[in-house]
Structure 1
Amino acid sequence: MASNKIINPVVLRRGAGIGTGNAETDDDFLFDCFVEYPPVDDCRRAGSPVMVVVGRTGSGKTAILRYLEKESRHTSAIDPFEMSMSYVSNSDALRFLQAIGADLDLFFQVLWKHVLCIEYIRLRWDVDSSDKSRNIFTKIFDRFAREDRRKKSIDYIRSWEGKFWITMDQNIKEITEAVESKLHAEIGGDIEKFKAGGQYEKRISREKKSEIVTRTRKIISSEQLSELHGVIDMLATQDDNHRTFYLTVDKLDERWVDDGVRFRMIKGLIESLKTFRKIKDLKILVALRADVIERVVQETADISFQREKFEDLMVRITWSKSELKQLVEKRLNTLFKRQYSGAQIGFSDIFPQQIGAKPSFDWIIEHTLMRPRDIIALVNECIDASNGQATVSVSAMRRAEVEFARKRKDALVQEWQSAYPMLDVILTLFTSKRKSGLELLDLLDKIDDFCTMVWTSPKISFDPVWDLSQAYAEGRKKTGLDVLVELTAILYRTGAVGVKISPQDRFVYSHSDQPLIAPQLLSVDTKVRLHPMLHAAYNLQDRQ
């Protein structure tokens, strides 16, 4: 790309980085420097089965959605914060049913299918008023009026025909209020006792709970879901205008609703998606963090919901070294073009050829989880550490490494907070020997103290490590090695460590190899190595 001699010398300034690494605040670079790579095409093509964009935080999920929204004129972004799902989670009637073990999954599917149908209709026919809404549905009624098998679905649309243009939260409130009204008519006395407190749901007998669930099953039944399936069938038969309409859903990893129902609502969304594949001109794209998918599986584990059943809907965001190099080159060139004119200025013009025995870019890649946010953050730290200089020196890269490692450690702990609240404590255990690599046997003498410390601390609502420590303390886990292999599997899953299962194997990492390792595969021969990204955060003796 660029020669070693820079025609237009630059001066590196603190704060003059190559972007934020956060797609929502990265407009200065995101669109001009966007890199087309395979997952983008999977998300763009209407014929592709992909509907769920899965990746770690900072891998580029939101960037793809924003890029496609900008690229296409026919897009609509569904913001979960505008859906009044908190109204659902705060409903006394629904909270009571959930407390006694009633299955609300079908109700959540009804909500999502209704929302997605509304948004598709609004987008496809540009519905922005009650009059236009009625005109569109009059045409649909006329087309299917003589088909008796569609009568229920037509009646469903007719009941909403004048309301498809109102706000999303109003639609959700109306659906929820209709269900609440029926529940109060059926079990109003029990709901009032639940509202009064005193843990009424725990005081009633198992037989009473079973009776209430049975009585309310018809209210939260599959009838409305069946009507919506019919609506989707009708929408699928509309003439295709050779356009693709995109519905995007993001921010599901944020606190848009109480955690008590959030993961079940996400499950309901995922289970709703396949039905919409029959609408050929519709592409639904849902962005989900990998750890949120993991928590959904953990929280809603049952026979009907298995990760494998939905793999064909998912594209997992991964980046190659060459793609990340292209991203950095584009952003550096854009940064300096805005400050200087003349020849292109790229990575080799700014960074040293090598750091230690490694090429500089290989060193940067090695200190990341192969995702754009990490790369952008580390390059920015190197620029900040070179304030006032024309190039980045090796010593500046070493200084940047320390600050970057500290921030990445904090970000990693925060990223996996919902799935593994004790991640920081596990990392402290595995770095207690002050070495980047160790054998599992090296930590056996620390397991008693570790489990005692975890088990005697207050339990967070969801914490598999607390449960593991309790099982060890009560003798349900036979040895300290049983605990260690479970903890190693967790660290591997988060990307914090690489694992060498047996002496003849190489070290593998979740960001570049298989994303999960079963604890049963690990043994006394297993070696664990802390990811280089974290070495400086723990000031390990052998990090150099």
Structure 2
Amino acid sequence: MTGEVSNKVGAKRPRLRSTFTVGGEQAEADALLDGAFYDSDDFAVIASREDKRCFVVGRTGSGKSAALQRLEELNPDHVIRISPEDLSLPYITNLQAIRYLDSLEINLDNFWTTLWKHVLLVEIIRHRYKVNSPAAKQNFLSELRDRVKRDQAKRAALEYLDEYEGRFWEEADQRVREITQKFTEKIDAEAAAEAKVGSVASVKIGGKEGFETSSEFTEERVDRFQRIVNDTQLARLNKMINVLDDEVLNRPQHFTYVVIDDLDRDWVDERIANDLIRCLFRTVIDLKRVRHLKVLVALRTNIFQELQFGRRGGGQEEKFRALVLLMKWTKADLTEMLDERVRVAAPKVGLQVESVADLFPNANKARGNPLDYMLDRTLLRPRDAISFVNECLALGAGSDRVSWSDLASAEQAYSSKRLLALRDEWKQTYPDIDQVFEKFRGSPVAMSRQDLQERLDSAMLLLSEPKFSGVRWMTDVTDTMWNSSTEASWFDLYQPLLKVLFTVGLIGCSRSDIRRATFYSDDPLFIDQRSNIQTTRSYFVHRAFHRALDIR
């Protein structure tokens, strides 16, 4: 039988094959990403050369990496990809000098910003002029010098690049190490100078030895080291940004995207990861002055929430948030995305279907629409939708379409995997949060405030468990419960822990008898309003996790 669906009465459609899927759940393993990419409104913002939003923020599985990969495929000669793992940053943060400065609570922001600016500027110039040898470097420098010979500031900026002699065309990690080496040499020199006047017992910070300090010298020493940190090449680098705009990327045909992804991996010591990312954001904002350049940074929602812009940045948060693109999907978006994938994948296995709905049973009054049923059990992310459909197709193999029975069986496996994925997404921020999830096993579909309170109380008692590794964050969100007066309101006592569960996507709130709850994906700020909590009548575990938590 051919792959075409016969129109004759009684003719059978080809059976679903075990090799049929609607793609991979992750961009790097998605065979359909190229041929069936869904051009969402968010992707249009990412690709736009006019739209200034450049910080691509979203939950795991929301399509950030896929969008950036697609951008690279469509603009192969205009995209530079920088991987944080390739910048030797773990090596740098483990240096004795850096650790010592960090122990003195010296603000290293200027140093980190210098590193980011250097990496980005040099990568852009290397890409633009194809600098891959000493001769290529000299050629482009000679060309630029000739153009800026009447501008003293620009000539001075070019001297910065000339200092990097044989390193300029090497990989970014080598250049980063060279900058760091020069910086630590300054720190060692300052230590040697102090040793001569007896303020320290050991000199070599950059080696295995360290300072043995006395408290009376600490404040003065911090000031001196802070001056060294602040005395960076930032002024010259800022002038190089002008050169970049006026002389390097000075025409539309030279438009360049710089893509930075994978900031959620273990690429650097967690102690200073947030500082490094904040300084990257600051660098990207400074580079906005370059007209034909767009630097795109992808970041997971939970990491973005932890950045604490105001801690050292002073008034920068509003600037950052104005440039954020929050990746969001609607049911209509996800349906169109699945339809496109089915149209591309189905012919490869002898099926001729036009939409994902053609693979599932018809809607009926008793059970409703199967696709609505499935999407209601996602967190409105492509990864969830693809995962659920693939589970169904695997069970429907050998039949001409997925049955309601197949769908119900697939939901068990899908739900269990989504709960594990939720744990993995948030375990860095909230260690052992899966133990809190377990407190909702077997809960009512619609929980009253009392039902919810009993489970939150039980979760708070995890602090008494010797093996519970979430003591720090649980202590923070339960402080009012353990230390407040008897006059504290329910909102004051329980909202902090409830907010965690709302933010991760486990719990939603309903202010009416209707079981339609508000989840984080609907209104991220809902949980912050006291009046919303006061008028909430029922609480719901998201349907994505019902089967995994035995909620029937």
Q: Do Structure 1 and Structure 2 share a fold, with TM-score over 0.5?
A: yes
- Alpha-carbon distance between aligned partners in 2 of 1:145 and 1:138, rounded to the nearest angstrom: 10
Give, in angstroms, the shift of residue 320 of structure 1.
Answer: 2.3
1:266 is matched with: 277
Give, in angstroms, the shift of residue 191 of structure 1.
Answer: 6.6
Residue 395, structure 1, aligned to residue 405, structure 2? yes
Q: Which runs of 5+ in 1 are unaligned?
A: none
Give, in angstroms, the shift of residue 96 of structure 1.
Answer: 0.7
- Alpha-carbon distance between aligned partners in 2 of 1:231 and 1:14, rounded to the nearest angstrom: 56
Give, in angstroms, the shift of residue 214 of structure 1.
Answer: 0.5
Larger deviation: 45-54 or 207-216?
207-216
- Alpha-carbon distance between aligned partners in 2 of 1:373 and 1:511, rounded to the nearest angstrom: 15
- Alpha-carbon distance between aligned partners in 1 of 2:306 and 2:127, rounded to the nearest angstrom: 32
Give, in angstroms, the shift of residue 505 of structure 1.
Answer: 11
- Alpha-carbon distance between aligned partners in 1 of 2:7 and 2:466, rounded to the nearest angstrom: 59
- Alpha-carbon distance between aligned partners in 2 of 1:192 and 1:476, rounded to the nearest angstrom: 53
Once the two structures are superposed, the pairs formed by residues 149-160 of structure 1 within 5 Å of their partners are: 149-150=153-154, 152-160=156-164
Structure 1 SS opposite 2:385: helix
Give, in angstroms, the shift of residue 422 of structure 1.
Answer: 4.0
- Alpha-carbon distance between aligned partners in 1 of 2:80 and 2:313, rounded to the nearest angstrom: 34
1:296 is matched with: 307
Give, in angstroms, the shift of residue 52 of structure 1.
Answer: 1.3
Preserved contact between residue 131 and residue 162 of structure 1 (Cα < 8 Å): no
2:195 is matched with: none
2:52 is matched with: 49
1:232 is matched with: 241
Larger deviation: 62-71 or 184-193?
184-193
Residue 169, structure 1, aligned to residue 173, structure 2? yes
1:536 is matched with: 547
Residues 480-530 of structure 1: CA deviation (Å, up to 9, x unaligned): 753421111111111212123578996312113336631645545433211
Structure 1 SS opposite 2:519: coil
- Alpha-carbon distance between aligned partners in 2 of 1:471 and 1:252, rounded to the nearest angstrom: 33
2:197 is matched with: none
- Alpha-carbon distance between aligned partners in 2 of 1:500 and 1:306, rounded to the nearest angstrom: 35
Q: 2:220 aligns with which of 211, 236, 241?
A: 211
1:34 is matched with: 37
Give, in angstroms, the shift of residue 42 of structure 1.
Answer: 1.3
Residues 144-203 of structure 1: CA deviation (Å, up to 9, x unaligned): 3333334542321221255321111110000100010000111255675897799x78x8
Larger deviation: 326-335 or 353-362?
353-362
Preserved contact between residue 134 and residue 162 of structure 1 (Cα < 8 Å): no
- Alpha-carbon distance between aligned partners in 1 of 2:382 and 2:545, rounded to the nearest angstrom: 17
Give, in angstroms, the shift of residue 446 of structure 1.
Answer: 5.2
1:70 is matched with: 73
Structure 1 SS opposite 2:308: helix
2:462 is matched with: 453
Residue 381, structure 1, aligned to residue 385, structure 2? no
Residue 286, structure 1, aligned to residue 311, structure 2? no
Preserved contact between residue 47 and residue 280 of structure 1 (Cα < 8 Å): no
Letter in 2 for 1:63: A
Structure 2 SS opposite 1:286: strand
Preserved contact between residue 332 and residue 347 of structure 1 (Cα < 8 Å): yes
Letter in 1 for 2:363: Q
- Alpha-carbon distance between aligned partners in 2 of 1:120 and 1:193, rounded to the nearest angstrom: 34
Give, in angstroms, the shift of residue 213 of structure 1.
Answer: 1.8
1:195 and 1:523, CA in 2 relative to 1: closer, same or farther beyond 3 A?
farther
- Alpha-carbon distance between aligned partners in 2 of 1:43 and 1:108, rounded to the nearest angstrom: 26
Letter in 1 for 2:344: T
Structure 1 SS opposite 2:98: helix
Larger deviation: 270-279 or 332-341?
332-341
Q: 2:96 aligns with which of 81, 85, 92?
A: 92
Preserved contact between residue 84 and residue 172 of structure 1 (Cα < 8 Å): yes
- Alpha-carbon distance between aligned partners in 2 of 1:412 and 1:460, rounded to the nearest angstrom: 17
- Alpha-carbon distance between aligned partners in 1 of 2:97 and 2:401, rounded to the nearest angstrom: 64
Residue 337, structure 1, aligned to residue 341, structure 2? no
Q: 2:114 aligns with which of 110, 116, 121?
A: 110
- Alpha-carbon distance between aligned partners in 1 of 2:214 and 2:186, rounded to the nearest angstrom: 22
Q: 2:258 aligns with which of 247, 251, 254?
A: 247
Letter in 1 for 2:321: E
Larger deviation: 451-460 or 355-364?
451-460
Residues 342-377 of structure 1: CA deviation (Å, up to 9, x unaligned): x44432321012274421111111011111100000
Letter in 2 for 1:211: E
- Alpha-carbon distance between aligned partners in 2 of 1:459 and 1:351, rounded to the nearest angstrom: 43
1:44 and 1:445, CA in 2 relative to 1: closer, same or farther beyond 3 A?
closer
- Alpha-carbon distance between aligned partners in 1 of 2:154 and 2:470, rounded to the nearest angstrom: 45
- Alpha-carbon distance between aligned partners in 1 of 2:540 and 2:505, rounded to the nearest angstrom: 11
Preserved contact between residue 295 and residue 418 of structure 1 (Cα < 8 Å): no
- Alpha-carbon distance between aligned partners in 2 of 1:65 and 1:325, rounded to the nearest angstrom: 21
Preserved contact between residue 463 and residue 471 of structure 2 (Cα < 8 Å): no
Structure 2 SS opposite 1:536: coil
Letter in 1 for 2:518: V
Give, in angstroms, the shift of residue 97 of structure 1.
Answer: 0.7
- Alpha-carbon distance between aligned partners in 2 of 1:5 and 1:435, rounded to the nearest angstrom: 47
Q: 2:518 aligns with which of 504, 508, 529?
A: 508
Give, in angstroms, the shift of residue 47 of structure 1.
Answer: 2.0
- Alpha-carbon distance between aligned partners in 2 of 1:496 and 1:71, rounded to the nearest angstrom: 37
Once the two structures are superposed, the pairs formed by residues 511-530 of structure 1 within 5 Å of their partners are: 511-514=521-524, 517-518=527-528, 520-521=530-531, 523=533, 525-526=535-536, 527-530=538-541
Structure 2 SS opposite 1:499: strand
Give, in angstroms, the shift of residue 449 of structure 1.
Answer: 4.6
Structure 1 SS opposite 2:508: strand
Give, in angstroms, the shift of residue 531 of structure 1.
Answer: 0.8
Q: TM-score, normalised by structure 2?
A: 0.88
Give, in angstroms, the shift of residue 138 of structure 1.
Answer: 1.8
- Alpha-carbon distance between aligned partners in 2 of 1:193 and 1:91, rounded to the nearest angstrom: 9
Residues 229-263 of structure 1: CA deviation (Å, up to 9, x unaligned): 11011111023152421211111100011212222
Q: 1:129 aligns with which of 123, 133, 139?
A: 133
- Alpha-carbon distance between aligned partners in 2 of 1:39 and 1:358, rounded to the nearest angstrom: 30
Preserved contact between residue 386 and residue 393 of structure 1 (Cα < 8 Å): yes
Aligned CA RMSD, in angstroms, stands at 3.0
